[in-house]
């Protein structure tokens, strides 16, 4: 029997009862189950749903109006507090989501955003984009350096994870979308911006110009197909794949932490001595130095093998080859000679030496110039191109470090006592050094029992003490401080001079900003962000400003008698995490009080009062006027 309708249910007054029928004669279920009463019930349900939706929309609109009126009455501080609380609630809610819920929320947000944009015209969309840009800019300006670094790390992680999990088809689709976005972005550029962003054309024209004007580039071959594979307005894929990211935020905080303990910290915590590791938070291996030649060869063989297999199977290899381009920079097994090689820096930096002349240690010069002095001349060049280059300073500083180490190693080997050490070092193998390093890594404070390793480390320490910036050079400075303490006694004062280079008109003047130092007006100075950009782009000018300021402080204040008669001072220059220089200074005052005499004299009330007056007179802290001046100049 087929499905029938019972008379007591869904019956109309004028509707006849359906009789039992054979299974071969069956009406469609749609016609049987949908009666006029059911239709009316569905219509009523739909109408009630529409009414509920309309009421819900009205309530939401009223809630938005109330929230807008409430926001208009709140102060900026209260509004910012509410924004912070809302962000914390959103972050807590997202943290409790599962991956599926996160993906669903993301899809819903995209749908809501698309529906909202579909109801807007072009002017409204552009207005919302401008407002979003302003909000993002204000949000970025409110972030601290630690939060900025954290956001960059998270963005890089998201980008790397997205690229790592994307299939070849998805990656190619993303590249197409990126190209379309770049094309759309370029349509909004001004002629000056478009000129700055035409990377591919600039690279090709620069290579052609170098072939014609630089003798070191006469024999190069320009491969147009490789240039065409470079992205037009983005970072090449080979650079993204060589990026290494560390999520160790604590190490970055420790690296940027101050050496001076916070006075507001609990006193019991000030006695704890912590080992502060210096670990890079993000490293970009631009040249692929961590990729061995064996790995490159293995990758190439796999690519060739896959292409041959696809070709034998009749597949199109052209499309696959364009999806995953390979950028190979050939390297030789023999390192480049850094001595008496004037073409080394000329070939490494064609933008700094475009005509291939003016190299360091050029034998054709009638008067030979010292390597270090020549570098100082280049870094003080009028157009500042050597100073503003992103890697020139690091390369030449590394060369100077190696030269210093080799020079002092050569001097040490000429000493008569080194012959005995040479015999000991000849019996040392690489396996012995590896075993000692493994033992030290497992037990950091263990003592090395192998005297050969101790002899090697002693000679390395002697050589490293002359190399600027090395750990052994800091040990040499500590040895000098100990010598002064043995000779003059304990220092009287320890102070740190940290010039505010970003807020100093003198530093801006050294950086090339045209300022009248006799009449510096707040409206003439740039914004804080622009000043930070100028200081960061001119490290040599900042170092000159620091040197000039510290010399005047030592001459006028320390030795000038502000602190009283001074016997000696010892200072070391260090740099912070952001690169600014500061000075740690020990001062020995010329008084006749030994620690025992000072302990005895401190019992006298008059002596204590005079000592307090002296300290209050020479050591002061007044930040009110400083903050006022800074706020006026920002």
Contacts 24+ apart (CB under 8 A), 426-434: 427/452, 428/452, 428/453, 428/456
pLDDT computed for residue 493 by the predictor: 87
Query: Is 70 exceeded by the pLDDT of residue 565?
Result: yes
Q: Considering only 126-135, 406-415, 442-451, 470-479, which range has the smallest mean pLDDT?
A: 442-451
User: Do 394 and 501 belong to one domain?
Assistant: no
In this predicted structure, the answer to whether residue 126 has a pLDDT above a threshold of 50 is: yes
Per-residue pLDDT at 16: 42
The alpha helices in 414-527, defined as continuous H runs, are 418-426, 430-442, 451-464, 471-488, 505-510
Q: Over 50: is that where the pLDDT of 22 sits?
A: no
Mean pLDDT, to the nearest integer, of 537-560? 89
Higher pLDDT, 121 or 3: 121
Give domain status of residue 163, yes or no.
no
The stretches of 24-98 forming alpha helices (DSSP H) are 29-33, 36-73, 76-95
Nearest to 41 by CA among 86, 9, 6: 9
Q: Which pLDDT does position 268 carry in this prediction?
A: 45
Buried b (16+ CB within 10 A) or exposed e, 427-445: eeeeeeeeebeebeeeeee
497 and 559 both lie in a single domain:
yes
In a domain, 137, yes or no: no
Residues in the chain: 634
| Nearest CA among 357, 364, 352 for reference residue 395 | 352
As a whole number, mean pLDDT of residues 172-185 equals: 73
Q: Which of 15-29, 319-333, 438-452, 613-627 has the lowest mean pLDDT?
A: 15-29
Residues near 532 by beta carbon (within 8 Å), at least 6 away in sequence: 502
Same domain, 577 and 454: no
Query: What are the residues whose beta carbons fall under 8 Å from the beta carbon of 211, sequence distance 6 or more?
Result: 217, 218, 220, 222
Q: Which domain holds residue 461?
A: 390-472
pLDDT of residue 192: 66
Asked if residue 496 has pLDDT above 60, the reply is: yes
Q: Which residue has the higher pLDDT, 548 or 22?
A: 548
Per the structure, how many domains does the chain have?
Answer: 4
**pLDDT tier at 569, thresholds 50, 70, 90:** very high
Residue 634 has pLDDT above 60, yes or no: no
Question: Is the domain of 627 the same as that of 497?
Answer: yes
pLDDT for residue 570:
94
pLDDT of residue 592: 67
Strands 581-589 and 493-497 come out as: antiparallel
Q: State which of 51, 67, 93 marks the end of a domain.
A: 93
- Enclosing H/E stretch for 12: none
Neighbouring residues of 408: CB distance < 8 A, sequence distance ≥ 6:
462, 463, 466, 467
> What is the chain's Cα-based Rg?
37
Task: Give the per-residue pLDDT at 549.
Answer: 92
More confident of the two residues 171 and 427: 427
Query: Are residue 25 and residue 40 in the same domain, yes or no?
Result: no
Mean pLDDT of 497-518: 85
User: Which domain-ending residue is among 445, 472, 499?
Assistant: 472
146 vs 269, more confident:
146
CB 572 within 8 Å of CB 583: yes
Per-residue pLDDT band for 456 (boundaries 50, 70, 90) equals confident
Is position 157 within any domain?
no
Is 60 exceeded by the pLDDT of residue 84? yes
Q: Is the pLDDT of residue 519 over 90?
A: no
pLDDT band at 593 (very low <50, low <70, confident <90, very high): confident
Burial (Cβ within 10 Å: 0-12, 13-18, ≥19) of residue 531: buried
More confident residue, 392 or 448: 392
Least confident of 264-268, 533-537, 573-577: 264-268
Average pLDDT in the chain: 75
Least confidently predicted of 61-65, 148-152, 232-236, 488-492: 232-236
Residue 242 is predicted with a pLDDT of: 61
- Specify the pLDDT at position 127: 81
pLDDT for position 244: 61
Residues 505 and 586 occupy one common structural domain: yes
In this structure, the answer to whether residues 498 and 435 fall within a common structural domain is no
Residue 420 vs residue 280, higher pLDDT? 420
> Is residue 506 included in any domain, yes or no?
yes
The closest alpha carbon to 18, from 32, 29, 36, 28, belongs to 32
Q: Does position 431 have pLDDT exceeding 80, yes or no? A: yes
pLDDT(13) > 60: no
- pLDDT of residue 586 exceeding 90: yes
Q: Which residues contact 239 (CB under 8 A, 6 or more apart)?
A: 284, 286
On whether residue 401 sits in a domain, the answer given is: yes
381-411 pLDDT, tens per residue? Answer: 888 899 989 889 999 999 998 888 888 888 8
pLDDT band of residue 243 (cuts 50, 70, 90) is low
Position 273 scores a pLDDT of 43
- Cβ atoms of 270 and 261 within 8 Å: the answer is yes
Please tell me whether residues 530 and 613 are part of one structural domain: yes
Q: Residue 4 has what pLDDT?
A: 40
Same domain (yes/no): 626, 497: yes
- Identify whether 467 is part of a domain: yes
| pLDDT-based confidence at residue 484 (cuts at 50, 70, 90) | very high
> Residues 6 or more apart from 452 whose CB is under 8 A from it?
424, 425, 427, 428, 432
Rounded Cα gap, residues 508 and 408, in angstroms: 38
User: Residue range 325-335: average pLDDT?
Assistant: 58
Average of per-residue pLDDT across 92-111: 80
Residue 360 falls inside a structural domain: no
222: helix, strand or coil: coil
Collapsing DSSP states into helix, strand and coil, what is residue 564? coil
* Cβ neighbours around 173 below 10 Å, total: 12
pLDDT range class, residue 157, cuts 50, 70, 90: confident
Final residue in a domain of this structure, among 93, 127, 142: 93
Q: How confident is the model at residue 483 (pLDDT cuts 50, 70, 90)?
A: very high
Residues 512 and 612 in one domain: yes
Calculate helix-pair angle for 471-488, 451-464, nearest 10 degrees. 80
Nearest to residue 168, comparing CAs of 323, 30, 309, 56? 323
Residue 186: which of 200, 205, 173 has the closest Cα? 200
Q: Do 498 and 575 have their domain in common?
A: yes
Is the residue at 553 inside a domain? yes
Provide mean pLDDT across the span 518-537.
Answer: 81
- Look at residue 626 in the predicted model and tell me its pLDDT: 52
Query: Do 619 and 509 belong together in one domain?
Result: yes
């Amino acid at each position: 029997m087929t499905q029938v309708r019972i008379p007591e249910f869904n019956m109309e007054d004028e509707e006849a009862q359906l009789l039992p029928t054979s299974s071969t004669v069956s009406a469609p279920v749609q016609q049987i189950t949908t009666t006029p009463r059911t239709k009316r019930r569905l219509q009523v349900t739909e109408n009630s749903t529409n009414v509920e939706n309309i009421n819900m929309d009205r309530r939401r609109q009223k809630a938005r109006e109330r929230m807008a009126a409430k926001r208009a009455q709140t102060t900026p501080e209260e509004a910012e507090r509410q924004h912070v609380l809302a962000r914390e609630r959103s972050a807590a809610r997202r943290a409790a989501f599962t991956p599926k819920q996160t993906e669903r929320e993301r899809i819903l947000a995209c749908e809501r955003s698309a529906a909202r944009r579909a109801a807007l015209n072009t002017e409204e969309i552009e207005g919302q984009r401008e407002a979003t840009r302003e909000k993002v800019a204000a949000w970025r300006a409110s972030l601290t350096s630690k939060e900025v670094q954290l956001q960059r790390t998270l963005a890089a992680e998201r980008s790397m994870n997205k690229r790592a999990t994307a299939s070849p088809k998805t990656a190619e689709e993303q590249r197409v979308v990126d190209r379309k976005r770049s094309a759309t972005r370029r349509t909004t550029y001004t002629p000056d911006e478009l000129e700055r962003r035409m990377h591919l054309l600039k690279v090709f024209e620069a290579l052609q110009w170098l072939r014609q004007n630089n003798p070191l580039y006469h024999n190069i071959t320009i491969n147009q197909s490789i240039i065409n594979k470079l992205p037009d307005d983005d970072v090449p894929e080979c650079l993204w794949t060589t990026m290494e990211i560390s999520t160790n935020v604590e190490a970055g905080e420790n690296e940027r932490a101050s050496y001076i303990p916070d006075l507001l910290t609990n006193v019991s915590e000030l006695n704890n001595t912590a080992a502060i590791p210096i670990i890079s938070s993000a490293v970009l291996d631009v040249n692929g130095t961590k990729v061995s030649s064996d790995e490159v060869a293995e990758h190439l063989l796999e690519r060739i093998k896959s292409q041959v297999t696809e070709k034998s199977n009749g597949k199109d290899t052209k499309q696959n080859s364009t999806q995953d381009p390979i950028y190979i920079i050939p390297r030789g097994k023999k390192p480049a000679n850094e001595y008496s090689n004037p073409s080394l820096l000329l070939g490494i930096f064609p933008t700094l030496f475009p005509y291939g002349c003016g190299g360091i240690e050029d034998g054709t010069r009638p008067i030979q110039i010292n390597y270090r002095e020549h570098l100082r001349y280049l870094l003080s060049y009028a157009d500042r191109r050597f100073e503003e280059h992103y890697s020139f300073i690091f390369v030449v500083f590394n060369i100077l470090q190696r030269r210093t180490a080799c020079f002092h190693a050569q001097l040490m080997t000429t000493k008569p006592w080194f012959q005995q050490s040479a015999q000991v070092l000849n019996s040392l193998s690489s396996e012995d050094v590896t075993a000692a390093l493994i033992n030290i890594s497992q037990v950091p404070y263990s003592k090395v029992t192998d005297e050969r390793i101790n002899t090697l480390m002693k000679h390395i320490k002697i050589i490293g003490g002359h190399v600027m910036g090395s750990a052994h050079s800091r040990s040499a400075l500590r040895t000098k401080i100990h010598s002064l303490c043995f000779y003059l006694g304990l220092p009287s004062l320890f102070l740190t001079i940290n010039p505010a280079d970003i807020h100093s008109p003198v530093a801006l003047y050294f950086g090339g900003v045209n300022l009248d130092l006799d009449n510096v007006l707040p409206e003439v100075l740039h914004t804080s962000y622009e000043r930070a950009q100028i200081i960061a782009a001119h490290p040599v000018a900042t170092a000159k400003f620091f040197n000039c300021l510290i010399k005047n402080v030592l001459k006028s204040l320390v030795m000038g008698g502000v602190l009283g008669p001074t016997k000696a001072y010892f200072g070391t220059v260090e740099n912070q995490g952001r690169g600014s220089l500061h000075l740690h200074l020990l001062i020995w005052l010329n008084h006749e009080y030994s620690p025992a005499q000072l302990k005895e004299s401190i019992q006298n009330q008059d002596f204590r009062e005079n000592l307090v007056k002296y300290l209050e007179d020479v050591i002061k802290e007044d930040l009110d006027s400083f903050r006022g001046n800074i706020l006026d100049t920002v």
